[in-house]
Amino acid sequence: MKDRKRDRSRKRLPKRVALFVVAVLLGGLLAVPAAVTAMAGTPEACSAADADIYRPPDRATATPGAVVACRRVDALPMVGNGTPFDAWKVQYGSTDGRSRPVSVVGTVVVPKEPWKGAGERPLVGFVPGTLGIGPQCAFSKQLAGQYQDAYEGPNISALLKAGYAVAATDGAGYMDGQVHPYVNGVEAGHAALDMARAALRMPGSGVAAGAPVGFWGYSEGGSGSLWAAQVARSYAPELHVVGVASGGIPADLKEVSHGLDGGFFAGFLIDAVIGLSVTHPDMPFQDLLDDGGHKAVKDAESLCAIGTVTRFAGARIEQYTKDHLTLDQMYALHGPDGTTWSDVAAGNKLGVGLGTPGSGARYEVGFPVLQYRGVLDEVIPAKTADGVRQAYCAAGITTQWKPYVGDHLTGDFQAVGDTVAWLGDRFEGKETKGNC
């Protein structure tokens, strides 16, 4: 799919959708690009061209979290609350779900005012929600003014106002010629953790190596941040992670997908199928599609979040395959090694194999987590949200649960103040027993 030409045009939104979105937004060591020189210990070293930040290396060899290239950003139009800050775009090393080196891009933002709290200035690793799967939708581009339809600038603003540094990953697959591996859990967790590592190594950022770290994300970002929580101890044990906040979590892809198929937000399912096909190229996918299916893939890769929702509202999976395969029939298909699509989806389920440090569990979590959702959420079933919360509580992990009277989109904005305060308590070392 890398060589596929993308139609980047955006379709005019129906008036009802446009008004709804406006209301929500108002409420709410790698082969280095040729132009990049060796890093020095000053901000002036971040002089890579913007194009070089998004150009993937011919062969990725960077260690996880290594800063490959960086560029100072003069303004972030989507972030504005009067808090002066310094910002940089960063290309950094990470690993994919099969532990192979990859390159990822993100944004580091640090308030200009000196940190007035105890210890070192805290760092929050931010994982954005659904933006689309094409490189034109990258969070770092949207923050810097290449506006598509990102909506979480207020979240970043609130963190900066509290004095915290922010390391916002784009996530894997947002560099030139790539496709984002939407809802691939381990890759999302790695990208978030390595973004934090990169921020701590940024030349001249002022963020100390031993700074306390928290993570935060909602929707796709809720999944990514919680995956960061699960793999942090094994993948990035040197990070001083004190807490992770995750909301609107698509914790069980199979449960979520059945609710999306044929519904208003079916575009999220289309993105998920494409994203998983990127990370599992040996699984049956392209040969299953009819002409409408191939066009759907092309469209999904050329649109961002709002365009995707509008384009695929009401769509069902079977209308894009030659044999009109239902979602359950797709899940039953297997690759050459016998792995089924159902196995792939199950491998991305959160809350499985959990334990506390020393338990011997696959995923040991030794810090508190905050989980939250809108009780009117029309995207993530209540069963899914309750399931991951119960799994964390049953594993003995300190878990705080918070519901909001909102739907999937508004639930993100409603939680901003509480989430920033909760992270602040973790940075201050305040004890919490959760509310399991």
The CATH classification number of 15-252+366-427 equals: 3.40.50.1820
Class level of CATH domain 253-346: mainly alpha
Q: What are phi and psi of 421, to 5 degrees?
A: -65, -40
Are 192 and 223 in contact, with CB atoms under 8 Å apart? no
Q: Which pLDDT score, from 0 to 100, does residue 44 have?
A: 52
Element at 362 (helix H, strand E): none
Query: pTM to 2 decimals?
Result: 0.89
Longest distance between any two alpha carbons in the chain, whole Å: 63
pLDDT in tens, 214-266: 999 999 999 999 999 999 999 999 999 999 999 999 999 999 999 999 999 99
Q: pLDDT grade, residue 82 (50/70/90)?
A: confident
Domain ranges, ordered by start, for the chain: 15-252+366-427, 253-346
Q: Which long-range contacts (CB under 8 A, 24 or more apart) does 35-42 make?
A: 36/68, 36/69, 39/67, 39/70, 39/203, 40/203, 41/203, 41/204, 42/203, 42/204
pLDDT in tens, 137-181: 999 999 999 877 888 999 999 999 999 999 999 999 999 999 999
CA distance 185 to 227: 6
CA distance 65 to 169: 11
CA distance 273 to 279: 10
At residue 4, the 3 state secondary structure works out as coil
Which candidate, 353, 319, 86, places its Cα nearest to that of 233?
A: 353
CA distance 311 to 114: 46
Instruction: Name residues whose C-beta falls within 8 Å of residue 289's C-beta, 6 or more positions apart in sequence.
Output: 296, 297, 320, 321, 322
CA distance 130 to 123: 22
